[in-house]
Amino acid sequence: MRKSNKPIAGYHLLMILSAVDGIIKPEEGLKVQEYMTEEFPFRLNLDDELEIIAQLTSDQWQDHFEFHAKCFEEDSTEQERKDFIQFAKSLIKADNKVSDDEHKFYILLKNLWNLN
Domain boundary assignment for the chain: 6-112
Answer whether residue 6 shows pLDDT above 90: yes
CATH architecture entry for 6-112? Orthogonal Bundle (1.10)
pLDDT band of 45, cuts 50, 70, 90: confident
pLDDT in tens, 76-104: 999 999 999 999 999 999 999 999 999 99
pLDDT in tens, 50-70: 898 989 998 999 999 999 999
Burial 66-80 (b: 16+ CB within 10 A, else e): ebbbebbbebbeeee
> What contacts 24+ positions apart, CB below 8 Å, involve 47-50?
49/8, 49/11, 49/12, 50/15
Q: What pTM, to 2 d.p., does this model score?
A: 0.92
Beta carbons within 10 angstroms of residue 46's beta carbon: 17
Q: Among residues of the chain, what percentage have pLDDT more than 90?
A: 72
